[in-house]
């Protein structure tokens, strides 16, 4: 959507789904209620993050299975499942099952690479194969093949009284076209485009050709499209304050202030950069987005909710996004 005259086509949101270690049910139920609210507000998609050994959603597939039974229209996505923790064959079965339960609304996003803090967790995760596990793009390709219906085994037919298939069951027709890759580098953007995935652009990128976040993200989107890529969704943290109380505004601003320093320069050997959080009225945020080089190249978004707020804060932010910010961007509720 390069100009204000071109409306935002799809509006989504992303949540990490935090919970209290001593009362995890409340946090999980809050996440499901937020997804239900998203559908009621007309959002096109709801996405959940993936957090292992933390107090956030560790099983997004299970959460989305539950959400599929509480909703009827909204698309349900993962942003993203780190495949280093997964067996692609088993994950393919789970994703296909949830897609069937949702009536074809699942949009799985995945990424590759070794699990975070692998040296600490590898002996629990892969006690016998930790040093020979393949965390390359091959792991994604296996998952894609299984979802597409490629053969898993040479055998199919009847053994005794049981019937067996040679491919993943259930087979979810159309799911392969709704697979996304969470890419933050030129290499991953090129691979995703070449291999027929959709691209999730988050608020973290690898600074390769610039130290300007928007320029970096724009280069990823262009590389993806030059290599045959399809849909692109952008995920930035936006915090509209239109209907926020004075106390909420103060809390939100403090949250943004604490995170701003990390957005100034690349960090670490891979030179990661974070996008600045966008806070203000919906009109102010819309102006910042229209000036964002990467936003100018997309027509769908999945705005990320801040990590550590309360349920009522998310209700206010989501409501303002749907009723204020979305219309400022030309979006119309479903």
Report, as an integer, the average pLDDT of 81-109: 98
Pairing of strands 272-274, 204-206: antiparallel
Q: How much is the average pLDDT of 60-84?
A: 98
Residue range 262-277: average pLDDT? 94
pLDDT on residue 6:
87
d(CA 32, CA 2): 34
Q: Which two tokens stand for residue 105?
A: 């609304």
Q: Which of 35, 37, 65, 58 is nearest to 47 (CA)?
A: 35
Instruction: Give 189: exposed, middle or buried? Use CB within 10 Å, 0-12, 13-18, 19+.
Output: buried
Position 192 scores a pLDDT of 98
Q: How many CA atoms lie within 13 A of 278 on its CB side?
A: 25
Helices (H) and strands (E) in the chain, counts: 11, 14
Give pTM, 2 decimals.
Answer: 0.96
Q: What pLDDT does 189 receive?
A: 98
- pLDDT > 90 fraction of the chain, expressed in percent and rounded: 96
- pLDDT surpasses 90 at 330: yes
Average model confidence (pLDDT) for the chain? 96
- Fold for the domain defined by 17-328: TIM Barrel (3.20.20)
What's the rounded mean pLDDT across residues 80-91?
98
Q: Check residues 73 and 5 and name the one with the higher pLDDT.
A: 73
* Mean pLDDT computed over 260-271: 93
What is the pLDDT averaged over residues 206-229?
A: 96
Q: What is the pLDDT of residue 3?
A: 56
Give percent of the chain above pLDDT 70: 99
pLDDT value at residue 334: 81
Both tokens of residue 65?
């299975």
Q: In whole angstroms, what is the distance from residue 76 CA to residue 68 CA?
A: 8
Q: What are the φ/ψ torsions at residue 248 (nearest 5 degrees)? A: -65, -45
pLDDT at 121 over 60: yes
Strand intervals (E) in 32-161: 45-48, 75-82, 106-111, 157-159
Angle between helix axes 186-194 and 213-226 (nearest 10 degrees) is 30
Domain spans in the chain, listed from the N-terminal domain onward:
17-328
CB-based contact 170:97 (threshold 8 Å): yes
User: What is the DSSP pairing of strand 162-164 with strand 157-159?
Assistant: antiparallel
pLDDT in tens, 19-62: 999 999 999 999 999 999 999 999 999 999 999 999 999 999 99
Q: Angle at the Cα of 308 (from 302 to 310), degrees rounded to 5?
A: 95
Banded model confidence at residue 1, pLDDT cuts 50, 70, 90 = low
């Amino acid at each position: 959507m390069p100009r204000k005259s071109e409306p935002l086509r799809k509006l989504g949101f992303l949540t990490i789904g935090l919970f209290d270690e001593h009362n995890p049910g409340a946090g999980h139920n809050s996440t499901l209620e937020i997804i239900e609210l998203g559908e009621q507000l007309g959002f096109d998609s709801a996405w959940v993050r993936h957090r292992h050994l933390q107090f956030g959603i560790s099983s997004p597939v299970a959460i989305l299975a539950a959400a599929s039974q509480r909703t009827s229209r909204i698309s349900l996505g993962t942003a993203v499942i780190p495949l280093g923790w997964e067996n692609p064959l088993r994950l393919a079965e789970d994703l296909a099952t949830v897609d069937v339960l949702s009536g074809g609304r699942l949009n799985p996003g995945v990424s590759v690479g070794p699990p975070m803090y692998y040296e600490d967790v590898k002996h629990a995760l892969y006690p016998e194969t930790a040093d020979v596990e393949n965390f390359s793009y091959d792991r994604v390709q296996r998952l894609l093949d299984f979802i597409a219906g490629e053969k898993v085994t040479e055998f199919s037919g009847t053994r005794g009284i049981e019937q067996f298939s040679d491919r993943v069951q259930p087979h979810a027709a159309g799911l392969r076209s709704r697979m996304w890759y969470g890419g933050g580098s030129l290499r991953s953007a090129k691979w995703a485009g070449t291999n027929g995935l959709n691209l999730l652009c988050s608020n973290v990128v690898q600074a390769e050709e610039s130290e300007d976040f928007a320029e970096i993200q724009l280069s990823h989107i262009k590389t993806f499209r030059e290599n045959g890529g399809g849909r692109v969704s952008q995920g930035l943290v936006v915090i509209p304050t239109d209907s926020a109380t004075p106390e909420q505004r103060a809390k939100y601003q403090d949250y943004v202030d604490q995170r701003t320093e990390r957005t100034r320069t690349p960090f670490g050997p891979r030179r990661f950069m974070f996008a600045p959080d966008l806070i203000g009225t919906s009109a102010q945020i819309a102006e910042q987005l229209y000036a964002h080089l990467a936003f100018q190249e997309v027509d769908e978004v999945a705005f990320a909710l801040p990590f550590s707020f309360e349920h009522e804060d998310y209700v206010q932010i989501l409501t303002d996004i749907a009723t204020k910010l979305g219309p400022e961007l030309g979006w119309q509720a479903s």
